[in-house]
Amino acid sequence: MSQKYERILIAIDGSYESELAFQKGVNVALRNDAELLLTHVIDTRALQSVATFDTYIYEKLEQEAKDVLSDYEKQAREAGLTKIKQIIEFGNPKSLLARDIPDKEHADLIMVGATGLNTFERLLIGSSSEYILRHAKVDLLVVRDSQKVF
């Protein structure tokens, strides 16, 4: 029995690793005739000390996220996908990507890029992909290899 995915959530954070997840996600979506959920979470934990909710900063970060996701959507459409949704949320990326957004959007696959954290950094701040792996209710694909995008 083969798994057919219908709603694929791709975590986009602007990193090279999330670019790989996007490329692979487009191909998985094409093979499954799935909807692509391009998702960016603006980490508000880092902003709490900045001028206590300065709306200009939030608006600027949101506009940058919209620009990035629009570029990815354009690339996905050029590849042949038609079912694409952009999602921008504010909050803790780990919990939002592991549970909240997949539940709300009925995602059945989460795709993330592997981070370049070293052992010490993972000990201090933890890996998002590791957190998602431990807490997600749906399948997770952590993309590591740029040679295996098709």
Provide the CATH number for the domain around residue 45: 3.40.50.620
In a domain, 137, yes or no: yes
Say what percent of the chain tops pLDDT 70. 80
Of residues 30 and 2, more confidence is placed in 30
pLDDT at 139: 93
What 3-state DSSP class applies to 120?
helix
In a domain, 148, yes or no: no
Of residues 107 and 124, more confidence is placed in 107
In a domain, 1, yes or no: no
pLDDT at 124: 40
pLDDT at 133: 83
Q: Which domain holds residue 41?
A: 7-143
In a domain, 22, yes or no: yes
d(CA 110, CA 131): 13
Residue 115: which pLDDT band, with cuts at 50, 70 and 90? low
Tell me: pLDDT of 109 over 60.
yes
What's the structural domain count of the chain?
1
Q: Are strands 35-43 and 7-11 parallel, antiparallel or unpaired?
A: parallel
Cβ–Cβ < 8 Å for 86, 66:
yes
Residue 58: which pLDDT band, with cuts at 50, 70 and 90? confident
21-30, 58-67, 90-99, 111-120: segment of lowest average pLDDT = 111-120
pLDDT at 147: 62
In a domain, 150, yes or no: no
In degrees, rounded to 5, the angle at the alpha carbon of residue 42 between the alpha carbons of residues 140 and 48 is 130
Across the chain, mean pLDDT equals 85
CA of 2: how far to CAs of 5, 6, 70, in Å?
10, 13, 32
pLDDT at 148: 58
In a domain, 131, yes or no: yes
Q: Region 78-90: what's the mean pLDDT?
A: 97
Q: Which pTM was predicted?
A: 0.86
Tell me: pLDDT of 126 over 80.
no
